[in-house]
Amino acid sequence: MDNALALARPEAFIRSWCDRQDRAGFERSILLASTFRSGSTRIAWSLAANGLPGLDKERFGEMWNFLEPVEPGALAAALGEIFGSSQEGLFTSKVMWPHLRYLLGAAGLGRPDAPRLARLFAPARWVHVVREDKIAQAISFWRAKRSGRWHVFDDSAEPEIAYDFGGILDCLHELAHDDRLWGDFFTLCGVVPVRVVYEEFEADVAAGLRSLLTALGLPEPAVLEREVDLRRQSDALSGRLRERFLEEFYRVPAEQDARMP
């Protein structure tokens, strides 16, 4: 890339971002940061059912299209769609780690510039959803990638998929990597997110929702809606895959040691 263009790119991106955000009238932001198959969609839908819609929308997922310089009009149009309208001045979005990486790349920014990117959002509150059971998360991620079934709303059974130790290990490595990078981003930016552990949230959804709404400064509805129309995809196969993976993990060949997260 031409040096002059590289230097001008962040400024052009930031001008376009600020212009589109101002036009939409955003006064604040709530952003849900997570990794794939962490339970973030279930938590986002629970919040939507209780007065906070939009956190299930991965609005920056297509920013990979702008990793190389494009016409300013195309970028402005994409940002215009992202910041299309406000909910009483509030912008909401789910941000998976790869999406943040795309966003930095599209802006022509790197790791040292992460605080600059974070400040672009209208005053933001971040929610960081984590899943403690990384093996279960990795198996869920691997199955979703293989089957294409990311969210299910009916009673159809999950398809059987041929076991692949290396594939699950790669997913485990990716998820651990992305979790570490979220931690690095928050530290760099001086952000203290509202941390939600998926397993704790699921153990007491009502308490989890009340705590989260309070932390975000949002009123609790008169009737708290705890059930959402999103089926859990974990099944008996998930359990069998877990046992097989852990058994093989204990005796993983030496040549695979470098792939460990």
The secondary structure of residue 227, as a DSSP letter, is -
Its pTM stands at 0.87
Distance of alpha carbon 199 from the chain centroid: 17
| Average of per-residue pLDDT values in the chain | 87
Spell out the long-range contacts of 18-21 with Cβ–Cβ below 8 A and sequence spacing 24 or more: 18/120, 19/76, 20/76, 20/79, 20/80, 20/82, 20/83, 21/79, 21/83, 21/91, 21/120, 21/121, 21/122
Checking if the pLDDT of 142 tops 60, the result is yes
Q: Rounded distance, CA 70 to CA 50, Å?
A: 39
pLDDT digits (tens, 9 = 90+) for 203-217: 999 999 999 999 999
pLDDT digits (tens, 9 = 90+) for 102-123: 999 999 999 999 999 999 998 9
Predicted local distance difference test score (pLDDT) of residue 226? 80
**pLDDT band of 236, cuts 50, 70, 90:** confident
Q: Rounded distance, CA 217 to CA 220, Å?
A: 9
**pLDDT band of 71, cuts 50, 70, 90:** confident
Q: Rounded distance, CA 260 to CA 96, Å?
A: 22
Checking if the pLDDT of 154 tops 60, the result is no
Predicted local distance difference test score (pLDDT) of residue 227? 75
**pLDDT band of 8, cuts 50, 70, 90:** low
Strands 124-130, 28-34: pairing kind: parallel
The phi-psi region of residue 95 (left if phi > 0; otherwise alpha if psi is between -120 and 50; otherwise beta) is: beta
Question: What does the pLDDT average to over 126-131?
Answer: 97
| Domains, in order of start, for the chain | 3-259 (3.40.50.300)
Kindly compute the dihedral angle of the four CA atoms of residues 78, 79, 84, 90, in this order, to the nearest 10 degrees: 150
Structure tokens at 242: 């877990």
Q: What percent of the chain lies above the pLDDT cut of 90?
A: 64
Checking if the pLDDT of 153 tops 80, the result is no
**pLDDT band of 156, cuts 50, 70, 90:** low
Structure tokens at 232: 């859990």
Range with the poorest average pLDDT among 82-96, 165-179, 182-196: 82-96
Other C-beta atoms closer than 10 Å to the C-beta of 134 total: 18
Other C-beta atoms closer than 10 Å to the C-beta of 111 total: 10
Predicted local distance difference test score (pLDDT) of residue 15? 92
Identify residue 133 by its one-letter amino acid code: D
Question: What does the pLDDT average to over 154-164?
Answer: 73
**pLDDT band of 20, cuts 50, 70, 90:** very high
